[in-house]
Structure 1
Amino acid sequence: MIPFPPSAPTPTPFDPASLGVGHDQPRLLLVDDEPRLLLSLYELLQGRGYQLITATNGAEALAHLSKLRFDLVLLDLGLPDIGGHEVMDFINQKGIDADVIVVSGEVGIDAAIGALKRGAYDYLRKPYSREELLKTVGNALKARRLEQANERIAAQLENSEKMYRYLVDSSPDIIYTLNHEGRFTFINERAHQLLGYKRDELIGQHYSILVHEEDLERARYVFNERRVDERASRNVELRLKCHAGNAHDRTFNTTLMTISLNAIGMHVPDQEVRKLEFFGTYGVARDITDRKRAEEVISYQAYHDILTDLPNRILFKDRLGLAVIQAKRKQTELAVMFIDLDRFKLVNDTLGHVKGDELLQQVAGRLKECLRKGDTLARQGGDEFTIVLPELRERDDARAIADNFLESLHRPFDLDGHEVHISASIGIAIYPGHGESIDELLRHADIAMYQVKGQGKNGHAFYDPSMQEVSHQKIALGQALRRALENDELEMYYQPQVDAASGKIVGAEALMRWNHPARGVVSPGEFLPFAEENGLMLPISDWMIGALCRDMLQWKGLCGSQVRLSLNLSPQYLDRGDFFEKMRGALLRYGIAPGQIEVEITENICIRNPQYAIEQLNKLGQLGVSVAIDDFGTGYSSLAYLHRFPVHTIKIDQSFVKEIHDEHDHYPVVLAIISIARGLGLNLIAEGVETEIQARYLRANGCLTMQGYLYYRPMPLPRFMDVLQEHGVQSGDHNVIAFQA
C-alpha cells in the first residue's frame, strides 16, 4: 500500500460485521501499481459516499479480498507480481461476490476480451475521463443494488411459496381449484389423506368423480360457482366418495369463491366497458363427517330411550299422531296400550337399579318380539311402556297381542344368576271409540291399566267409560286423605295376640283405620297405597307415633310400664334421615321409656340398602328400642342378614298360615321359619290364624304366639282396653303389645 498524505483516509481495518449484506456505504478496492495513478483515482472517488481501500500489487489485493467483502474492485491488469487476470480468477474461484471494473493501459483486444470473459462489469482504457469513470462506477453499483434487490425478492418469493404450500398441504381442509370446465387444476395433500386419491389421479379429472351420485345435481351449481360477492355459495353440504377400500363416504361442508380475470373491451364514445371473464373456481371443503354423525346421534337420542333403544314419548306421540291421521283417512281402528310392570319396584329395591335396568332391557326385547311390522313400542319412563297398533281388523287382534305380552313376561328373567318373575298390567284404548285425540287415547289406556292394577294385576282390560268414574273416585280419595290428617279422621285399631297354650293376651297389633265422613271406616289396604304415591306416608307416620304414645299414657295405670309396643315403620319413613330424631323426641315428650318400643320392619328394607338400615337400626338399639321383622319369608331375604341386623322377633306371614289345611300334613316353609327362630333364639308370632287346625299345627310345631280372627278381630282403643281388663292384664305381667300401621 502506498503512503498517502495525512489528509488522505487510510484503508478501513477489517470489521467482521462488514461481511454482512446491506452495509450503508459501498466498499471499493482500488488496485494499481502506479502510485500517482492510484492517488489520482483515490482522490477522484473520495467524498462520494464510498469506503475506499487501496492495493499496489496483486498479493496485497488478494489479501484484502480474503479478509473483507467488497462491492466493486477497480483493477489494473498490469501488476508486477500477480496479473489482473489472475486476480479475477481468484475472485471467481473463491466465489467472491464483487463486481470488477478493469482499468488498464493495454491497447490489445485480447486483454479486454480476457477481462470480459472472466466476468468484468466493464473495461476502461487509460487514460479515462473523469466523467466516464464516475458514470461507470455509478452504473456498476446501481446494477449491483438492483441485482441484490432481485435476489432478496426472489428469496422472499421462494420462502413465501414454500410457506404457502406448507400451509395449504397442512390445512385440515381440502383446498382445490377448478378450471372453467370443472376439472381439477390444483388440489392439496389433504384430499389424499381423507379420500384416498392421489393428486395425480385427480388433476385434470372432472369434479363429478368425487361427488356422491345423490348429490350431483346440487354439486353442478356449487362447483360451477361464478359469483364473487356475498351471494357466492357458502357452507353447502355435499358427500364426497372415498377411494375404493379407503373408507366410507364422507360429508363435506364446501365454501366456494370464484377467480375472475378483468379484460378490457372495445371503447365506445364517453364510455368504458369492463367485462369479467369466468376463469375457474377456488374452493375449500371441510370434512364434517364426524359432526354429522354426532348430530345424527344427538337427533337419535332426542327421540329414543337410551336404556332400551326404544322410541321415547316424544317420538311415540308423533307416530301415534300419524297413525290417527291415517286411521281417520282410511276409516279403520287402531289400539293404544299402556303397560306397567308389576313388582318392578321390588326388583329395584332388592337387587339394585343396575339389575333393574337389565330387566327393563330384557322386557323391551321380549315385547318387541310380540309386535307386528308397523307397530310401535315406546318407553314412557320408569317401568311403563306404550304401544300403538295401527290398522286393526278387529279388537281381538289387540287382545291377542296383549295375551302374547303376558305370556312372554311369564317366563323367568335371569339377572346374573338371580331368577326373577314379574308380570304386567295392560290397559287398552281403541280409536275412535275410546277417543280421537292422542291425549285421550293415552289417558284412557292409562285408566284401563290402573283398573287392572286394582283388580290384582297380571292382566289386560279395554277402557270403559265406567272406569273414568272409578278413576275420579281415586283422585277424590287421595284429596280427602290429605284432609283426613287435618280433620283428625284417622284412628288406631288393635288386634290382640294370644298365647295359644294359656289363652292369655300377650300383645296386640295396631291397624290404622280411616273414619271417612261419607264412606265410613276405610281399611289401610285402600288408602295407604295412595299415601305412598302422594307423599303422605311421612306425615301419617308422624301422626301414628304420636297417637301410639298418647294411647300408652292411658295404659300406664292398666298395664304399668312393662308393656312393650311394636311399631311398624314404612320404608319411606325409615329412609328419611330424621326419623330417629322424630321417634326419640316423641318418646321424650310423652315420657315413654324406649325399652317399651319394638320397631317392626319388612325384610325388604334389610336388603335394598343393608348398610344404611343396619346403621339406623343400631341407633335404635343404642336408644333401647328392639326390632322385629314383619311378613317374614315373603321377600328376597338372606339368612345372613339375620346375623347382621339387631333382630329380636320374626313374624310368620298369613299367606303361609292360610296354606295349613291338615294338622297332620307337612308345610316346609312354616317349619323352616319356626326352625330359624328357634335356632337364632328369636321370638315368633304367627299372623292370620283363623281355624283350630292352623292353631293346633302351629302349637304342635313350636309356635305359641298367634293372632287372627280365631281369637280376636281388630277393635278400637276403648274396646281393646276392656278386653285387657277382662283378661286381668296387670302391671307385673310383662305383656308385649305390638302396634302396626
Structure 2
Amino acid sequence: MTPRTAFVVENDFILSLALCTRLERLGFRVAGTSDSARTALEILASQRPDVVILDLKHPEPDTDIEIARHLFTQYQLPVLLITTPAPGEPAHPGLCGTPFASLRTPFDEADLGEAIALAFYKAGLSSRLRESESRLTILADFSHDWEFWRKPDGTFAWLSPSSERITGYSPRSLADEPDLFSRMAHPEDREILHTSFDSLSPDVRHLEYRIITPAGECRWLALSCTPVFSEDGISLGWRCSGREITDRKQAEEDLKRLAFYDRLTGLPNRHLLRDHLQMALTRCRRHEHLLGLIHISIRHFATVNRQFGSEVGNRALVSVAEQLTASLRESDLVARMGGDEFAVILSRIRDKQEAETVAETLMAQLTREMDIGGHTVRLTPRMGISLYPFDGPDGDTLLSRAEKAAVRAGQDGPDVCRFCSFDPETPSSALPRPEKEAEAACRIFHDSLTGLANRFLFSERLILACRYAHRHGQAVGLLCIDFDNFRHLRDLCISDRSRRVRILAVRLKNSVRESDTVARIGETRFTAVLQDIRHKKDADAAARKILSALTHPVNMNNQRLAITVSIGISVYPFDGTVPRDLTGKALEAMQQARKRGGTICHFCPPGYRGEIKTERVI
C-alpha cells in the first residue's frame, strides 16, 4: 500500500526535521519541505501531496492563513495549521470558521495523528458540500424561477442567475445593494413586501407584487417564501422562489374588462350598467332629482346581417355606440345590453321634457344613413323611456319598464320613442328580476371577504364621480386609508384575522354616506370616494369622522386591540382632473401621514395644486 504524502512548511530547520520524523513514524512520506508559505505555494502548484502541514509561529500568520485558504480552495488540499499561542492566549482569530484543522504546540505523535485525521475529515466534508452546492447551483441555473435566500439583516446568502431575467437586476447588483430588493418594488406595493418579511412566524408566505425594472417596465412577481430557522430556533432568514406573472395578471385584467365591458363596442355591459344605475339612484334619492333611463333596440337588425353580412352588422353596432356616446353629456352613461339592445342613463334631469329631448336627439342621430364598407345602411331604432321615481323605485323596475315601453314603441311604428305607462296597480315585486345576474355581478364587483367594492369597481366609480362633478361644478374627495398596525394580524389565526378585517370594513362603511363608495384594494388598504362635496372642508370632515369610527379598539379573544390609521386625501379638481393622478396623490399623502406617526389625516403634499392642509386628530 502506497503511503500518504505530506508537505511541511516550517522556517525552523530543527523543528522541521522533528516534524518530518514524527510524520514518518505515523506512516507518511514527506514529499518536501519549505521555510515559507509563499515558497510552498509555488512548489505546490506542480506537486499534489495528500496533506499540507503549516506552522504559523513566524511573523506573517495572516498571510499564511490566506495562503492556506488558497491551497484548500484552489487545489482541494487538506491543511493542518500548527499554532504556538502564549499561555492563556486564545487561538488566532483568523482560524475561526476556516475549513482546515489546527494543532497547538506542544504536541505528541498521537495528537499529530488525530489532527491530521481531522484535516482529512474536514476536507472530505467540504468536498461533499461543494458537490452538493454545485448540484443545487446547476438546478437553480436551469430553473425558470428566481431562487434566493434572504438573511434577517436583508442581505442575500444566495441568488440564482434567473434574477436578471426576471427582475432586470443581476445577482451581483442585488448582492452589493441589498436595499435594491425593496427599492425595485412598486411604490404602492412596498408596504406589502415589508410586512411580509417583517414577521418571524413559521408560516409560508405567498405574495404577489409589482416591481419596476431598470428599463422602467412594470412587472408582476409571485413569491413563495419559507422562513428558515436553526436548530436553536434562531431565524436564518427566508428561502424564496419567485416567478414573473405579468402575462397572467394582464389576462386577469382582460377577463375583468370582459366582465364589465362589451368586447365589440367597448361600452359598459349589463353588469356595469346595473352598478352605475344603483349609484345614480342613490344620488337622486339624496338630492331629490329625477333620473331617466332609455332602452334602445334596433328593429329588424337581423335583416342587416343577412343582407350585408355579419362584418357590416358589427361595424353598424360600433357606429351606433359611437353616435350615442357623442350625443350624450359626460355625466350620462351608455351601455350595450347585448345583441342590438342599448341603454342610456340620464342623471339629474329637470323634467320629462328633457328626457324626451335627449331621446329625440338620439333618434335623429341613429336614423341617418350610414356608409359601411360601400353599403348604405339605415337603421330603425325604437326607444322606451322610464323615469325615477315615477316609473319605479329601483333599477330593475326601471329597466324592465323601459324595455316594455320600447316594445310598445315598436308596435306603434318605426323610429318611435315612447314613455313608460306607469301602472300603480302593479307592485314592483311582480316584475321580473334577473337575480342570478345580480348575484354574478356582486361576485365580480365586490371583495369576497368584506363585501365592499373591489379595486376595479372603485376605479369605475371614481371615473363616473369625476364626470358627474365636472358637469355640475362640484368636487370629489378621494381618501386612501391604511391600518398602520395591520401587520400584527399575522400573529392571529386566519379566522380571527378575517373577523377583524370585517369589523373594520363595517365601521368604515357605516361612517360614510350611502352615496359614497368604500372599496378594499389590498390587505391593509381601503379607499373612499366622496361624491357631491363642495370643497376640501367636506373631505376633511369626512376623514375626521372615519378616523373617529376606526380608532376605537377592537375586542377579540378577550383582548382590546388598538387601531392606528393613516389617511391621505386628494380632491378633484384641486389636486388633479385624472383619476389616476388623484389616486397617486392620495397614496403619497397617506405615506406622509404614516411618517408623521399616530392617527392622522393628510392632504395632498406640497407641490400640488389646491389648498395644502395637514391636521393631527387627537
TM-score using structure 2 length: 0.48
TM superposition score normalised by structure 1: 0.40
Larger radius of gyration: 1
